[in-house]
A = this chain, B = another copy of it.
């Protein structure tokens, strides 16, 4: 028996299909047959050689859902329920060390300096070689934290929870809007879609999305966005004025930047009210320096800023809670479905910004 994977062997070149002998799971390991793998914006950065965490050859794919095919011992999900061969599961994508100060004293594995991620850090040369989701199979390491996917849920719609959803959940876990707050969310990709939903579930009164009108903003509206400010049809001054108007001149209580541009971060600092909060998660690769007028935007406003990076099991659980509550809306995120062998096409589509979310479906021929 063999597994099929799509590997990056040269940056920016088409991914190469490879066969890998199917290993037996060692103690605590889990062999999962991939049902759907997410194609993340980060995968494009990785493919283009812009992500310093990666070495080649690599099977990309850190978001996935699959079916348990074999395991080295009895399994249970995080709720303590048994997981059996044939069950559909999703898992925490990070491999923290569970031994360092960040993991065991600060109890915050997302900070672990040894944390690795399937499909990002774990090279294909490292046994058991099935280290990413762009393949027919992945082998989960001992200690994998599993969530059983409930019956009746299309596994593909669970995929975005694993990375975009969990990262945004991390933001809300670090600092949450209060009941009645005005929230601004910049950059309507998958991070923002989850952010709209989390903001509504945090009691925000106004949820303002800044971005181009598109199917993405439609989903935002459906999940609770109360205002969309089209970045192409408004100036920064007009957007600040609109937010000021909604807040009786105070400014936004809580701003979430997930646009990924230096300009968006700078605008966020202006949009927030005195004593407000700005959380930034969009900048996931180096973008140079952002000039900050510290006196006016940070100090004199008692502003709170929070960088947001990665996530941990609690955040995956938070994101899943949203998807399971509104599967029919989250289904709309999955705008593109590709066969595994079309992984390169999928990356190109994501790079062109055509997708809300693209997934690979290894079982489709």
- Closest residue of chain B to A310 (Cβ to Cβ) is B302
Interface positions, chain A 298-334, Cβ under 8 Å from B, are 298-310, 312-314, 317-318, 321-322, 325
Q: Interface segment, A11-19, A64-72, A286-294?
A: A286-294
What is the size, in residues, of chain A's interface with B at 8 Å between Cβ atoms?
78
B302 touches A307 (CB 8 A): yes
A172 within 8 A of B: yes
Q: Are A289 and B291 in contact (CB under 8 A)?
A: yes
Query: In the assembled complex, which residues on chain B have CB atoms less than 8 Å from the CB atom of A79?
Result: 101, 248
Interfacial residues, chain A to chain B (CB-CB below 8 A): 76, 78-81, 92, 98-102, 104-108, 110-111, 113, 143, 145, 169, 172, 174, 176, 178-180, 198, 200-203, 205, 248-250, 262, 265, 274-275, 280-281, 283-296, 298-310, 312-314, 317-318, 321-322, 325
12 contacts between A and B (CB under 8 A): A80-B100, A81-B248, A102-B250, A102-B275, A104-B314, A107-B314, A110-B275, A111-B275, A169-B179, A203-B318, A286-B296, A298-B307
Q: Top 9 nearest A-B pairs by Cβ distance? A: A201-B203, A289-B291, A305-B305, A298-B307, A79-B248, A180-B321, A299-B307, A111-B275, A179-B318
